[in-house]
């Protein structure tokens, strides 16, 4: 059996790792790196986890999954000094510890998908634009230059729900459900400083403002020393400004950050912006997995459960288990 998986984020890699013993799997990823929203950006002496910041582990399966990665130092605990802000006032501070561990990939969040993808057949820089049913075999995949990428029995899309809906045909059994999963945007502002800012915290959750999160990326374990800060806009602010000029967004978010943290971020040596059009999704009610046995199509991602790394893993694992136990697939 040949399976094509669209995307190479944590959900896709989880599916591939759990099905590789029963199928010949190819992953197609439109970006030049893998990991999707578990992303790392390097620029000069600075580096930024500009997507997912950290994760926690609640389910037994996810705890078991991360355990060997912790032993191999691919995952480490981030014992950040954490502060909760309401506008520019700190309401609460606590230092994260082993009681409720907060984890990061080492030396970047993308180290986790990179490590897990070893041995998988992943084609980077390939954007799937459409799939066509071939009456003799199964599905043919095409990139955005309409190059034929081969034939597969099954196609599983792990692209964000609305993007999956564009690739998969309208008769995919769960097409309407895909169309109804609304994901929201987020801006990541990356700031690098020649001199450290004397902050009393490493990670801050902010309410009542247009930014929702500021972290000192360089405070995470095993990062380069150059002082780097990562700011996330709120989803609500991003949704209103996704089509604005980057420079306007940078100016506004920099000013907002300075007002909240009480330091002038205009003095940054390095400034960059990334716009995530499909960053997050709220917690979803439980539903059937989106597996269409008749058409041999499926779709999966964090958006199936919640916009979290743990959810993306759980969604991928559930899908792989379901596919494995179903004899029709063999």
Ligand X SMILES: Cc1cc2nc3c(=O)[nH]c(=O)nc-3n(C[C@H](O)[C@H](O)[C@H](O)COP(=O)(O)OP(=O)(O)OC[C@H]3O[C@@H](n4cnc5c(N)ncnc54)[C@H](O)[C@@H]3O)c2cc1C
- The distance of closest approach from Cβ of residue 6 to ligand X in the complex, given in angstroms and rounded to an integer, is 5
Cβ–Cβ under 8 Å, residues 269 and 192: yes
Asked if 159 is part of the footprint of ligand X (rule: CB under 6 A), the reply reads yes
In the window 139-158, what residues touch ligand X (CB under 6 A)?
Answer: 158
The C-alpha atoms of residue 261 and residue 283 are separated, in whole angstroms, by: 29
Asked if 298 is part of the footprint of ligand X (rule: CB under 6 A), the reply reads no
- The distance of closest approach from Cβ of residue 327 to ligand X in the complex, given in angstroms and rounded to an integer, is 27
Nearer residue to ligand X within complex by CB, 8 or 261: 8
Task: Give the binding-site size for ligand X (rule: CB under 6 A).
Answer: 38
Nearer residue to ligand X within complex by CB, 268 or 305: 305
Asked if 212 is part of the footprint of ligand X (rule: CB under 6 A), the reply reads no
The C-alpha atoms of residue 243 and residue 176 are separated, in whole angstroms, by: 26
- The distance of closest approach from Cβ of residue 31 to ligand X in the complex, given in angstroms and rounded to an integer, is 5
- The distance of closest approach from Cβ of residue 183 to ligand X in the complex, given in angstroms and rounded to an integer, is 9
Residues composing the chain: 330
- Print the binding letters for residues 253-292 with ligand X: x by CB under 6 A, - otherwise: -----------------------x--xx------------
Nearer residue to ligand X within complex by CB, 138 or 307: 307
Two tokens at 47? 């580096």
- The distance of closest approach from Cβ of residue 328 to ligand X in the complex, given in angstroms and rounded to an integer, is 25
Q: Which residue has the tokens 């990665």?
A: 69
3-class secondary structure, 308? coil
What angle (nearest 5°) sits at the alpha carbon of residue 96, between those of residues 209 and 63? 110
Two tokens at 186? 């987020």
Q: Which residue has the tokens 């080492």?
A: 106
Asked if 218 is part of the footprint of ligand X (rule: CB under 6 A), the reply reads no
3-class secondary structure, 247? helix
3-class secondary structure, 263? coil
3-class secondary structure, 61? helix
Pairing of strands 211-216, 227-233: antiparallel
- Print the binding letters for residues 9-28 with ligand X: x by CB under 6 A, - otherwise: xxxx---------------x
What is the binding site for ligand X (CB under 6 A)?
6-12, 28-31, 36-38, 51-55, 127-128, 158-160, 163, 167, 186, 188, 232, 276, 279-280, 301-302, 307-309, 312
């Amino acid at each position: 059996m040949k399976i094509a998986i669209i995307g190479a984020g944590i959900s896709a890699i989880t599916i591939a790792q759990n099905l590789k013993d029963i199928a010949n799997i190819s992953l197609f990823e439109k970006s030049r790196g893998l990991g999707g929203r578990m992303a790392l950006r390097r620029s000069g002496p600075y580096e930024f986890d500009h997507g997912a910041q950290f994760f926690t582990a609640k389910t037994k399966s996810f705890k078991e999954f991360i355990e060997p990665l912790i032993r191999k130092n691919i995952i480490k605990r981030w014992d950040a000094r954490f502060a909760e802000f309401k506008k520019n006032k700190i309401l609460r501070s606590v230092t994260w510890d082993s009681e409720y561990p907060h984890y990061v990939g080492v030396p970047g969040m993308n180290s986790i998908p990179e490590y897990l993808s070893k041995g998988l057949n992943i084609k980077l820089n390939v954007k799937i634009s459409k799939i066509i049913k071939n009456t003799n075999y199964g599905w043919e995949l095409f990139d955005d230059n309409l190059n034929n990428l081969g034939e597969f029995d099954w196609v599983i899309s792990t692209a964000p729900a609305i993007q999956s809906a564009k690739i998969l045909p309208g008769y995919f059994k769960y097409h309407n459900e895909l169309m109804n999963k609304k994901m929201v945007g987020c801006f990541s502002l990356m700031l690098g400083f020649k001199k450290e800012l004397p902050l009393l915290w490493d990670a801050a959750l902010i309410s009542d403002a247009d930014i929702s999160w500021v972290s000192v990326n360089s405070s995470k374990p095993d990062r380069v020393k150059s002082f780097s800060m990562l700011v996330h806009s709120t989803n609500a602010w991003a949704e209103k400004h996704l089509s604005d000029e980057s420079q306007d967004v940078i100016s506004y978010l920099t000013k907002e950050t300075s007002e909240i943290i009480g330091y002038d971020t205009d003095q940054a040596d390095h400034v960059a912006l990334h716009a995530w059009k499909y960053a997050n999704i709220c917690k979803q009610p439980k539903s059937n997995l989106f597996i269409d046995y008749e058409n041999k199509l499926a779709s999966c991602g964090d958006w199936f459960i919640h916009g979290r790394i743990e959810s993306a893993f759980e969604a991928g694992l559930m899908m792989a288990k379901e596919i494995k136990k179903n004899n029709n697939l063999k």
